[in-house]
Amino acid sequence: AQFTAIAFDLLCLLGLWLVGFRFGGTTLAATLAFAWAAYPFTQYASNSNTNDSIMPAFLIWGFWLVTSPAGRGVFAALSGWTKFAALIVAPLWATYPNGRPSARYVAAFTAATLVVFCVVLLEPSPLHELRVFWDRTVSWQVGRPSPWSLWDWGQYRARGIPDLRILQHLLQALLIAAALVFPFYPRRKSPLQLAALTAALLAGFQLVLTYWLYTYIPWFFGFAAIALFSHRKAEQLDAVRAPSVVAVDHDALDPDPAFGGLEPNR
């Protein structure tokens, strides 16, 4: 567990360096890498030997391959089946950059999902194993109590402590609506907008969770850092061009100056 926590913490750091170098050169690369290393909550996750750096590591590396629909699809699937929270950004990533779902993204996401779940074929009864998987993940998490969560205060039934479940459900509905709207609005997105919307959805998912820990913050921090530290660079650029070392999504090569966003470093 300690090795895994440290390894994926370093993979997040390296991934942010690569993202920064691609979209802003060495200055942004150093800034993003240092931001991850210096942020207290990434250290908490690493020191606690948790698995909470695995999910953002896959998403960060998928963002590095943002102009490759297949790359986005594979890493989005690996991230989503590591922590279900990442599935909320799957539609957003599927429609980048022009608001139209990518067939290559869907195919890559599906293929990666099949590879992930093929482990159940090692058991005598795969269907039984899938049921166990459901019971010990989704079913268990949905009903998981949390004595320190304001959303679960109603369990104490004490005078003066409100039951906020209705408000929680309303906010959850708004989050789902955002996850369905963001893939299509704005229709054309820059990498900077994709990073900001990804951070917003992941942070929003945490806000409406009943069971929450501070080690979850690294889920969205990398994309928040990209959005916060890259904005000045993005204002000076008006197109997205894929470097030759990454598979080119020709839909992303939009000559429209209004497309905006970060330009990959050559």
How many C-beta atoms lie closer than 10 Å to residue 185's C-beta?
10
CA end-to-end span of the chain, whole Å? 38
Cα 234 to Cα 109: distance, rounded to the nearest angstrom? 29
How many C-beta atoms lie closer than 10 Å to residue 34's C-beta?
16
Q: What pLDDT, in 10s, does the model give residues 207-252?
A: 999 888 899 999 999 999 999 998 655 444 333 444 433 444 444 4
Cα 39 to Cα 36: distance, rounded to the nearest angstrom? 5
Q: What pLDDT, in 10s, does the model give residues 48-72?
A: 999 999 999 999 999 999 999 999 9
pLDDT of the residue at 222: 95
What percent of the chain is modeled with pLDDT above 70? Answer: 84
- Split at pLDDT 50, 70, 90, the class of 156 is low
Model-level pTM? 0.83
Residue 154 has pLDDT above 90, yes or no: no
Q: State the greatest distance between any 2 C-alpha atoms of the chain, in Å, as a whole number.
A: 64
Evaluate whether 6 touches 46 at the Cβ level (below 8 Å): yes
- How many residues does the structure list for the chain? 266
What long-range pairs does 94-98 form, CB within 8 A, spacing at least 24? 94/183, 95/183, 95/184, 96/66, 96/72, 96/189, 96/194, 96/252, 97/188, 97/189, 97/190, 97/194, 97/240, 97/249, 97/251, 97/252, 97/254, 97/259, 98/187, 98/188, 98/251, 98/252, 98/254
